[in-house]
Each structure stands twice: as structure tokens, then as C-alpha cells.
Amino acid sequence: MMKTANLLLILFGTLVFAGCFNQELQETIQTDPLPSWNEGNTKQAIIDYVIDVTNEESENFISVSERIATFDNDGNLWSEQPLYFQFIFAIDRIKSLASGHPEWKNQQPYKAVLEDDQGELLKQGMHGLLELVMASHADMTTAEFEAVVKDWLATARHPRFDRPFTDLVYQPMLELLQYLRDNDFKTFIVSGGGIEFMRPWVEKVYGIPTDQVVGSTIKTVFDYNNGNPVIKRLPEMDFIDDKEGKPVGIHKYIGKKPVFASGNSDGDLQMMQWTASNKYKSFILYLHHTDADREWAYDRESHIGRLDKGLDEAKENDWSIIDMAKDWKLIYPHELTK
Amino acid sequence: MMKTANLLLILFGTLVFAGCFNQELQETIQTDPLPSWNEGNTKQAIIDYVIDVTNEESENFISVSERIATFDNDGNLWSEQPLYFQFIFAIDRIKSLASGHPEWKNQQPYKAVLEDDQGELLKQGMHGLLELVMASHADMTTAEFEAVVKDWLATARHPRFDRPFTDLVYQPMLELLQYLRDNDFKTFIVSGGGIEFMRPWVEKVYGIPTDQVVGSTIKTVFDYNNGNPVIKRLPEMDFIDDKEGKPVGIHKYIGKKPVFASGNSDGDLQMMQWTASNKYKSFILYLHHTDADREWAYDRESHIGRLDKGLDEAKENDWSIIDMAKDWKLIYPHELTK
């Protein structure tokens, strides 16, 4: 009889212990779902918002199907300096195609690319840029383009950090994406970059499926190709998902107004305005690049990712602003294993 | 002591009974996930496919992120006779707007609509149809259009069945959508119909979220509107998601080749070809309207939802064909409660 009682006591003790342990673990996760974020107003505002709108008792409760969160990509989920990474990809691609195009040596904007003449390249303007994008991104099938992007990501290195470009995603933003998904938000990318440049890697890197990526597109066409169907990429823009294009892209692809929007530049401002007009309580988050040591510091005067009007409007409207230097314990995932 | 024993026996018996009952229920669902489908080749082929590709031990296993299933809407998830329901909506809308447009009385294609002159209407061709679509679908904000669609669905009745149009969805297809989702397929609509005509109701009716709807679109533009931002619908086509457009739309919105495709007309054929070219084992399902009594019977000669080439290609390639009269126990959900 004593033996049975002892056994029960041990069993009971084990259960209580296991219960406590689980509870402790759970509390750690609950109290810090964003471990790479320093304590402060920004982190607290995010957590307060999520707790509020997921609480069925709250007047601000948002049902699961309306929990749409949209994230800009360049400079918001990964770095964008010294040039948008997709632009570095385009330059590398032009160089690798140059042997088949001897005429490019004497023809702008190709000449500037092949001679690494940044000054001349900037002079080529939007028209020159578009020509480079088409020459490097079109006239092949979608499957071929996907392979080209994957090859580039597997071999190209960032000039400053000497790492693959996909290493330069922001660890705090990975945690934020996961935290939102853990709270039944559906997370989308809404980027000025090309959809097909992002899709080959965002699923693995951000946990965002290909159909939750909104971005710029070029026109494509189906070809039955004698029973081996392909989709061909044409050298013609279809849609530019930037500035006023962002709410249009959000409406076109998602069909709902976001309740949570995150971006870093004036190119995101209309997405922020659209989100802020939601009848549900919304959360607007601007990332301010303030960390020249660990990443880059730039805002109003930058050619890439300029944040000027957006900064003013964020301050006027009390939107949350991430001060990268102050709010983030670390920037990139590889710093975790240092 | 006997009383306690009896009580325990009763409790035990209740638990066993409850257990059996649940198990029985579960077995019914497990052995028949498609209760409105008659036993036969089509139903069995669907179930065999799903069991095969979700089995990790199978050489045909497909990982969850690749389980993309695309469904045409008109004539495939709901009826499409005597006219595409969206076209009936357009006609109703033209009539309700007519008092503000006295000139329409003498101007085609409006005159034909206002006079219910179907012969004249058909003569107006694609150009006339597009003009009617623009007049009834554009020149308002997206929020206004959503309200118009919801109002129409709440009041309009189908001429043959005298029921709201959303009652005319196919119960067997609702079960198929759910069965696929229960097996971690992501279900999408890929329709020639307008995205914004479908989005207001597909979530509730099909359980498909708005961002999983691919369809035809008209151009839209963002307007900040002094801090009350709106998106305006312009009278200009953006994309027609039909025939060759379907694989293009799938690639644009989903970014992955489907493994499962379901449709009912030649407008779906290119989606079928694209799906059949998947490196993973795919399943192609054509719905053949063979049931004039309970729904409609039409195929090669029909003006709406013609199935001609698709029927030949389905037979050549051993794709599955639903014989509506034979394969479906019932058509519409309201028959369940008869």
C-alpha cells in the first residue's frame, strides 16, 4: 500500500513538474516572441497590438480571415544597399550574357554596365534601367528564369559582407513574421521588386508561400509547345508594384485591406495610407535605417529606399518607427551563431 | 460498494459507447469523404489519387507546399445556365442604371438589354459584351462595387430555380474542395469571371479566401482622396483569365504549377494542359454536364461553357470525366434538406 502511494506521489510530482516546465517554456515564448528586439516602445507597441486584436473580448478584435499583414521586401525584410539586390542580379546577368552581344560594348546602357561606370549608368534614367531589366529578365521561359535566379543566389556574394544575398535578411523581421503567423495573421510580401525574382527563395527564407507574394510583373504568354507547355517572359512591363501601385497590387492579389503594414521607404507610403484607412484597428510600421555600423544609415537623401515624406507622415500619425540601431539587438541571422 | 461498482460500470459503459460512436462517425468520414458522389470510377480515382500523393511512403508523394489545386468557377463550382451569372448581374445592373442614361434606349448594346432582345444582344459580339461589362462594372470604387455585388446576390433570383444564385453551387464540389483541404491541398479558383465579382461571396460559400481567387480584372487606380483613400475601377480591361490566359493567371497569382485542376469547358483546356505537365503526379478533372433534369445537359454545341476539344483531349489522355447524371447523387446543397 505504501509502495502504491509512493508511486502515485512520484507520478503526481512528475506531472506537476512537467506542467510547470511547459508553462515556463510557454511563458518565455509568450513574454518574448521577438527575442532579437530590444525592449522599448516599438517592440511593446507591436505586442500590445497583437494581443489586443486577437483577444475576442476586445472591442478591437479582428477575425482570422481579416488578419492580413503586408511587408515590403527591399530594405525591409533584407538589405537593399549599395543597390537593390535585383539590380545587382541584372548587372551580373548582363555581364554573363555580354559575350553573345558584342554590340553591347558600344551601346548604352550596356556599355556603362560592362565598364562598371556607375555615373553613366545613373544618367541612363528609368528608360535605361527598364532596358537592362528586360534584357536580363525576359526572352526566356519562366522555368528558365527561375533557374537563373537560383543559380545567381547560390553563387553571388554581397560586396560588403561577402555572403550570399539571402544571408542578408533581417533576423528581427523573421521573428516578427513568425509571431504574426503564430497569431493567425496571413503574411504577404508587397514589393516593388519582381515577383519572379522573389518567388524562388521567399518560401524557404521567409516562410511565405509563392502565392503570397505581390510584386512587379512583366507580361507572359502561354505556349502549348507541342505538348510540353511553357510560359514565356516577354520584354514588356505588365505592372509596377510601387507607390500608388502598392494598394492596387494589394487589392488585385489579396482582395482585402491589410490591418498590418510594414515598409521602409516612400515607395511604401500609399500602402501605409491604405492600411491606415482600415475600419479595423491597424498597425503601421516603418523601418528607419539608422545603423551605419551594422547595416546602413540613410533616409531623406538616399537614391535607394528614400524615406522622406513617409517619415513625416509616420510622425504626424503616430505610426511606429523602428530605429534599427536602437531597437534591434542584431541584424542578420548569422550573428546568432557568433 | 455495489453502488460504486454500478456507477463505475455505467460510467465505463457510457465512455465505451461514446468512444464507439465517435469512432463510427470518424470511419464514415474516413471511408466516404465525398458522400454526395455515387460510387464509381470518378470518385474512386479522386480518392486513390489523394491517398497516393499524400502518402510519404509513395513514390508519388507530393509535399504540402506543392499541393496546389485549381478550380474553374462557372459551370464547375456553380451553374452557368441560361447565361453566366455575372452576365445576368450585368444585365440587371444596366437596367437599374438605365433611368440615369436615357440615351441607352436608342443605343446598342444597351437597347437590346433594355428590350430583353437576346437575338440582338448576341449580334453585338465581344465588343458589345465588353461595353456592357464596363458600363455595369466600372466607374466606381472597389468598395462600391463590392456593395453592388452583395446587394444583387441578396435579392436576385435564378429564373429557373427561383433561388439566390449562390444556392446553385454544387454540393459534390463543396465536398471535393473540403476533402482536398483536409489533405493539405491549397484550393484556388481560376475563373474567366471577374475577380471582384467572386470575392464578395466565395469565402463564405466555398471556404476559399479572397487571395486565392484568380480571375479576369479591369484596371484600377489608387486615389488618396484627401486622407480617405479609395481604389477606383476604370473602364478598361486589365487581364482576361480564360483559355491561354488561365496558365498565365495561375503563374502570375500562384507562382506554382497546379497538381490538381478541375474545369468544365474548353476555356479550361490550357489550365489542364499546364497542370498535366507537372513533374509531380497530377489529376485532371472535367465536369461533363449530362443532367438536363436536375441541372443542364450541354457540351460541344453550347454557347455557354462549350466542352468540345476538352472532351476529346480528356478521353485521349485518360483524364477523369464527371458524368453529372451518373456520378452525383445530388446537385445543390438545398437537396440535402429535402
**This prediction's pTM:** 0.90
**What's the Cα-to-Cα distance from A177 to each of A80, A173, A182, A211, A253, rounded to whole Å?**
19, 6, 9, 16, 19
Residue B262 CB partners (closer than 8 Å, separation 6+): B69, B70, B71, B72, B76, B173, B176, B285, B286, B287
Calculate helix-pair angle for B125-137, B85-97, nearest 10 degrees: 60
Residue A138 contacts B, CB cutoff 8 Å:
no
Give residue A135's identity as a one-letter amino acid code: A
B255/A211 touch (CB, cutoff 8 Å), yes or no: yes
| Burial category of A155 from C-beta neighbours within 10 Å (exposed 0-12, middle 13-18, buried 19 and up) | exposed
Residue B65 contacts A, CB cutoff 8 Å:
yes
Contacts of B212 in chain A (CB under 8 A): 211
**Distance in angstroms (rounded) separating the CA atoms of residues A238 and A219:** 5
Contacts of A146 in chain B (CB under 8 A): none
pLDDT tens digit sequence for A124-148 = 887 888 899 899 999 999 999 999 9
A60 with A190: CB under 8 angstroms?
A: no
Mark B276-287 as b/e (b = at least 16 C-beta within 10 Å): bbbebebbbbbb
Residue A207 contacts B, CB cutoff 8 Å:
no
**Distance in angstroms (rounded) separating the CA atoms of residues A186 and A206:** 13
The distance of A249 to chain B (nearest Cα, Å) reads: 9
Calculate helix-pair angle for A41-53, A171-182, nearest 10 degrees: 20
3-state secondary structure of B76: coil
Q: Which residue of B has its CA nearest to A253?
A: B211
B213/A65 touch (CB, cutoff 8 Å), yes or no: no
Contacts of A282 in chain B (CB under 8 A): none
Full DSSP string of A74-142: BTTTB---SS-HHHHHHHHHHHHHGGG-GGGGGSTTHHHHHTT-HHHHHHTHHHHHHHHHHHHH-SEEH
Q: What is the pLDDT along chain B (338 residues), one digit of tens a residue?
A: 445 444 444 444 444 444 444 455 445 556 799 999 999 999 999 999 999 999 999 999 999 999 999 999 999 999 999 999 999 999 999 999 999 999 999 999 999 999 999 889 888 887 888 899 899 999 999 999 999 999 999 999 999 999 999 999 999 999 999 999 999 999 999 999 999 999 999 999 999 999 999 999 999 999 999 999 999 999 999 999 999 999 999 999 999 999 999 999 999 999 999 999 999 999 999 999 999 999 999 999 998 999 999 999 999 999 999 999 999 999 999 999 86
B254 with B295: CB under 8 angstroms?
A: no
Contacts of B217 in chain A (CB under 8 A): 252
| Residues comprising chain A, all counted | 338
Mutate to test the interface with A, among B205, B218, B251, B309 (most CBs of A within 10 A): B251
Residue A222 contacts B, CB cutoff 8 Å:
yes
**Distance in angstroms (rounded) separating the CA atoms of residues A172 and A46:** 12
| Burial category of B155 from C-beta neighbours within 10 Å (exposed 0-12, middle 13-18, buried 19 and up) | exposed
Q: Which of B186, B229, B256 is closest, CB to CB, to A274?
A: B229
A179 with A207: CB under 8 angstroms?
A: no
Mutate to test the interface with B, among A191, A199, A248 (most CBs of B within 10 A): A248
Contacts of A213 in chain B (CB under 8 A): 255
Q: Which residue of A has its CA nearest to B313?
A: A227
**Distance in angstroms (rounded) separating the CA atoms of residues A78 and A165:** 8
